[in-house]
Amino acid sequence: MSLTASSPAEIAGTIAGQRLTVGVEEEFLLLDPGTWRNAPVADAARDALAPQVRELTRVEFRRSMMEMVTPVCSSLPQLRAHLAANRSAAAAAAHAAGARLVAVAATPVAEPDRTVEDTPRFHAISRHYGPIAHDPALCGCHIHVGVPDPQVAVQVCNHLRPWLPVVQAMTANSVFHAAADTHHASWRSIQLERWPSLGPSPFLTSVAHYERTVAELVGSGVMLDDSMVLWWARPSRRYPTVEVRVADVCPAAGDTVLVAGLVRALVATVLDDIAAGRPAVRPPEHLLRAAHWNAAHQGLGGTLMDLRGRRAVPAWDMVDLLTETAGPALRRHGDEAVVALELARLRTEGTGADRQRRAGDLPAAMRMLAGLTTG
């Protein structure tokens, strides 16, 4: 990152009103279709991909995981097409390797092989964090929204903080651990709390403040290096984007389209706020963390925190408030109808966690998710 001469409000004013780009990284588990244990066949699955598709995958930390990345997209229909193609290709490659590709966010049964992929970086992480790095594999959905200036990206992350527990609740899709219901909607979120550099992003005033904070955390030993910024929202190190990392991997491509559309609209909305000089809501850190824990625990089945009013409200009231707040940006991007359709389906079918529990038992839930993964 480098400092810019103009103020964030001036820069945001040049971005506000534009159509923002969006891209998605989805992580999937490779599961044995007989036992639903994790299958360490990622290398074979990647080798089974066509060369042009292999460019859209990444080597993940664990050998039972497969990540697929969309190109930069300008519209939600374009994004949906890329998500569907990625999922179809990855599922076929997983089948060729003797596994099922499943969009589930936490290891449901067990991971007998917890070795990391053989790269110097992954081995360094393994040594530094020890058993934490060898917890059962987890899968997220990371949404990138184009924000070309790093000063503005830092401010966007500040403004997003009160809304991210709602996104977390909407995408909760990890009920099972060790073959039992955890009584949490997003076990992934709970398990990730063991990582010391993960959670809500701190409130930062500038790029210089960001860089100083990261350097202090690296110096403390909490972060191995500056690539270990694992906050729920962060300025991307690799792309001119804000990256929102709070979501569980979603069961179906339509669920991912929904959350990507809402996140893009939220970013566009807060850009308007920054340009107008409206300050970010700054809830106390203990309440922000409590809101995230509650979202992971209940999903959309109970209450969520309205962090502006510092009170608990019915979860769907917060979803409606988020959608209403982002409404002008949804319309500006041409996303209102798509988001409304997917939101109506979410209201009827429930989150991934709800769908897993409704399936009856773990094998039925995994078969259901494997089907939803590719539509």
Q: Is 367 contained in some domain?
A: no
Q: How far is Cα 176 from Cα 29, in angstroms, rounded to an integer? A: 13
pLDDT at 1: 39
pLDDT at 238: 87
Q: How many domains does the chain have?
A: 1
What CATH code is carried by the domain that includes residue 304? 3.30.590.20
Find the mean pLDDT for residues 111-122.
91
pLDDT at 254: 98
Q: Is 2 contained in some domain?
A: no
Q: How far is Cα 116 from Cα 126, in angstroms, rounded to an integer? A: 8
Q: How far is Cα 129 from Cα 127, in angstroms, rounded to an integer? A: 6
Among the listed ranges 11-25, 204-218, 330-344, which one has the minimum average pLDDT value? 11-25
Q: Is 1 contained in some domain?
A: no
Strand positions, DSSP E, the chain: 22-31, 57-58, 65-69, 100-102, 140-146, 176-177, 180-181, 198-199, 230-231, 233-235, 241-248, 303-306, 311-314
Q: Is 62 contained in some domain?
A: yes
Give the domain range for residue 213.
8-362
Q: How far is Cα 284 from Cα 185, in angstroms, rounded to an integer? A: 24
In this structure, how many other beta carbons lie within 10 angstroms of the beta carbon of residue 299?
26
Summarised one tens digit per residue, pLDDT across range 138-180 is 999 999 999 989 999 999 999 999 999 999 999 999 999 999 9
Q: Which of 279, 10, 21 is nearest to 147 (CA)?
A: 21
Find the mean pLDDT for residues 44-71.
95
Q: Which of 73, 61, 88 is nearest to 24 (CA)?
A: 73
Summarised one tens digit per residue, pLDDT across range 353-374 is 999 999 989 999 999 999 999 9
Prediction pTM value: 0.95
The backbone torsions φ and ψ at residue 138, rounded to the nearest 5 degrees and listed phi first, read -130, 150
Q: Is 375 contained in some domain?
A: no
